[in-house]
Chains A and B, each alone.
Chain A
Amino acid sequence: MNDLAASVLAGDRRAVARLLTLVENAPVEARRLLATLYPHTGHAHVIGVTGAPGTGKSTLVNQMTLELRRRGRTVGIIAVDPTSPFSGGAILGDRIRMQDVAGDPGVFIRSMATRGSLGGLARATADAIRVLDAFGRDIILVETVGVGQAEVEIARAAHTTVVLQIPTLGDDIQILKAGILEIADVLVINKADLPGTERVRAALSMMLDLGARSNDWRPPIIETIAVQGLGIAAVIDAVEQHLAYLKDGGRLAQRERQRVHDEIVSLLRDNLTARTLAALPEGALDSLVQRVCRRQIDPYAAVQEIIGK
């Protein structure tokens, strides 16, 4: 098994693919391998690409990858698509738009299904990023599922988050609402040949003017026509400037501390929950559920009964 980790570090593409499968299917087994790889991670610039369905995320990722390759960077891509809540199956179609880069040895693309996660990523995405990082990719592009307004997990997983808008996605009230626009480090208006581009730009600009930001990075607004490859160099420039901004004055390290802190807390929560549930006597949870349904106790009291003992 440890051979697999060694092969990943040696640059074996099949080993990378195998380990990614393990991370998805058998997280407990994968843990030991990930621990071996962990000291070799932390070098890649992780860039998230998110936006509503049909805004052009895969097409932009394809074009960004071409530009990054022109600049001599190696690229890993994780493209997430939704799992059907009914069958548990999924159609992963992001590779269709990535044909220009699919045959390039400097590019590794992995499609991933959400498998029930709701935040725009899969549960295994964070570990998959680490695998590609240890594999030695300079840049890791993470494409989320087509998101609505609240799937903001990507901002935690990525150093730089690119949010796509298109000119026809609604009026300035949509832009005033909270949600994914707030997590943008770089805003892209794709399909900028469509009418309404100026209006979206004005609305986004107003949003940025009104917002009380916790830092002094103002997300640039970049227009692209991704199918024609127009505006892409500006997107990569902006992403690189954002990384430089993060590195300046220790922001990146601070952010990493926060991310690790959140991750430990979240793992602890999962772990303690699993352990507590496993320690309950047979049927105890069911009987609590019944008592709550009969309105004999409320859910808070049920939890108290579990952890109070």
Chain B
Amino acid sequence: MSDERKIRVLVAKPGLDGHDRGAKVIARALRDAGMEVIYTGLRQTPEMIVEAAIQEDVDVVGLSILSGAHLTLVPRTCELLHKHGLDHVLVCVGGIIPEEDIPALKQAGVAAIFGPGTSTEDVATFIKDSVRPR
């Protein structure tokens, strides 16, 4: 049990959302899929998220955004990850993201966007299949 490599995921809520039920559901689902999930709570800046990603040496950063500020917060987070050499980190976004904003987020480096109604198993499977070996 202890020698295998565990997938480490940072679940973060950037910006000023007041609700983190979705983030908690995802955190719990990924835990149940055998991953180690670091949850940092509400109201994170991109800088805080990236610093946590460095220290925790995560494979995945999951950003949960409901506020509508995703076009600001997500590219900024991706940019900082790149700046710190964390290009191997898979970035996923969940929350309320309008269809027309998806290309811009993908362009910024997001691997997947999970909207309302996504099954948590799909999220776990996507992560397991997409985590980049190091």
Q: Which residues of A contact B (CB under 8 A)?
A: 13-14, 16-18, 20-21, 24-27, 83-84, 86-93, 95-96, 99, 102-103, 108-111, 113, 115-116, 123
Which residue of A is nearest B32, CB measured?
A: A87
B51 lies within 8 A of chain A by Cβ = yes
- A95-B40, A103-B51 are contacts. A88–B1 as well, Cβ < 8 Å? yes
Which residue of B is nearest A117, CB measured?
A: B2
Q: From DSSP, what is the main secondary structure of chain B's interface residues?
A: mixed
Complex Cα spacing A92 to B2, Å: 17
A123:B2 contact, CB within 8 angstroms:
yes
A89:B34 contact, CB within 8 angstroms:
yes
B34:A87 contact, CB within 8 angstroms:
yes
Complex Cα spacing A134 to B36, Å: 26
Residues from chain A with Cβ under 8 Å of B121 in the complex: none
Q: From DSSP, what is the main secondary structure of chain A's interface residues?
A: mixed
Which residue of B is nearest A104, CB measured?
A: B51
B39 interface neighbour in A13, A20, A25, A93, Cβ under 8 Å: A93
B106 lies within 8 A of chain A by Cβ = no
- A13-B55, A17-B56, A18-B57 are contacts. A90–B36 as well, Cβ < 8 Å? yes
A95 interface neighbour in B28, B32, B38, B47, Cβ under 8 Å: B38
Residues from chain B with Cβ under 8 Å of A27 in the complex: 3
A20:B57 contact, CB within 8 angstroms:
yes
B31 lies within 8 A of chain A by Cβ = yes
Interface string of B61-90 (1 = CB under 8 A from A): 000000000000000000000001100000
Chain B interfacial residues counted at CB < 8 A: 31
Task: Please give the distance in Å from A146's CB to the nearest CB on chain B.
Answer: 16
Which residues in chain B, 1-47, are within 8 Å of chain A measured between CB atoms?
1-6, 8, 27-28, 30-41, 47
A90:B55 contact, CB within 8 angstroms:
no
Complex Cα spacing A93 to B28, Å: 11
- A21-B57, A26-B3, A113-B6 are contacts. A103–B36 as well, Cβ < 8 Å? no
Complex Cα spacing A83 to B4, Å: 14
Complex Cα spacing A66 to B9, Å: 27
A14:B54 contact, CB within 8 angstroms:
yes
Complex Cα spacing A16 to B56, Å: 10
Complex Cα spacing A21 to B7, Å: 11
Residues from chain A with Cβ under 8 Å of B3 in the complex: 25-27
10 tightest CB-CB pairs across the interface, nearest first? A96-B41, A89-B31, A17-B57, A88-B34, A21-B57, A89-B34, A92-B38, A115-B2, A87-B32, A90-B36
B56:A110 contact, CB within 8 angstroms:
yes
Sample of 17 further A-B pairs with CB below 8 A, known A92-B38, A96-B41, A103-B51: A13-B55, A14-B54, A17-B54, A20-B57, A26-B3, A88-B34, A89-B30, A90-B31, A91-B31, A91-B37, A92-B37, A92-B39, A93-B38, A99-B40, A102-B40, A111-B36, A123-B2
